[in-house]
Amino acid sequence: MTSSELWTRATADRYDAEETAMSSADVLEPTLAFLAELAEDGRALEFAIGTGRVGVPLRKRGVPVVGIELSEHMAAALRSKVDEDTLPVAIGDMATTVVAGEFTVVYLVYNTITNLLTQEEQVACFLNAARHLAPGGRFVIELGVPPLRFLPPGQVAVPFDVSEQHLGFDTFDLIEQILVSHHFTRDGDDGRYRQDASRHRYAWPAELDLMARIAGLELERRVADWNGTPFTQESTKHISVWRKPL
């Protein structure tokens, strides 16, 4: 078991409803097109597949998808959408769990590699991706750029969402590279808010490139979003693609 925090049944039950924006066609279509192009005629493996926000529609596009998911509750939510024969899911952590066969693309979306809370485990995740890739296959990660430029001296928190229904901010431990995402979500119309927090280990693109080199992978492409916008020093996230040599 890795240090990833285990998602509960309550979190899994409300996950899809709270992530409707991330499930919209505007968000999903470029993601699916990007991954389907890399998969070509092969299979795709999604680390931390969750409730299947990406994996289920990618399978509907004709790409054979297999998932690995740590939380049985999240996997149960996925299973209500698609059966095991159509989209198999192995219960386990993405750093060490092995499934059968080779894949042309292994992918991790929506900052999920940060669920691994140590550098050692994140390196193990790269090694596990390389283990599953066929020669010439790609490992894809979607990850935000740590927003440390927004931290003036003495400040430890950065807001990322301020709306009527949700207040969100991150606090940072700069020595351990740990951020804690704090969420205050309005429940119902009575003015009450639900408080949640989750820990993550942030990493810079250059650090991920070194992890990839340790795993025998080569950086092929880095863009700012799924539409292929060039990555610059002003980009707030990146889509990085590493290739396993032939």
- What is the DSSP annotation of 224-245? SSTT-PBP-TT-SEEEEEEE--
Range with the poorest average pLDDT among 4-13, 91-100, 169-178, 201-210: 4-13
pLDDT tens by residue, 100-118: 999 999 999 999 999 999 9
CB 128 within 8 A of CB 95: yes
Query: According to the model, what pLDDT value does residue 16 have?
Result: 63
Query: According to the model, what pLDDT value does residue 128 have?
Result: 98
Question: What tokens does 31 get?
Answer: 């993601």
pLDDT tens by residue, 206-243: 999 999 999 999 999 999 999 999 999 999 999 999 99
pLDDT, mean over the chain: 92
Query: According to the model, what pLDDT value does residue 1 have?
Result: 56
Query: According to the model, what pLDDT value does residue 155 have?
Result: 84
Q: Regarding predicted confidence, which is higher, 166 or 20?
A: 166
pTM (two decimals)? 0.92
Query: According to the model, what pLDDT value does residue 17 have?
Result: 66
As beta bridge partners, residue 193 has 186
Closest by Cα among 105, 103, 102, 74 to 90: 74
Question: What tokens does 169 get?
Answer: 């901010």
Query: According to the model, what pLDDT value does residue 222 have?
Result: 98
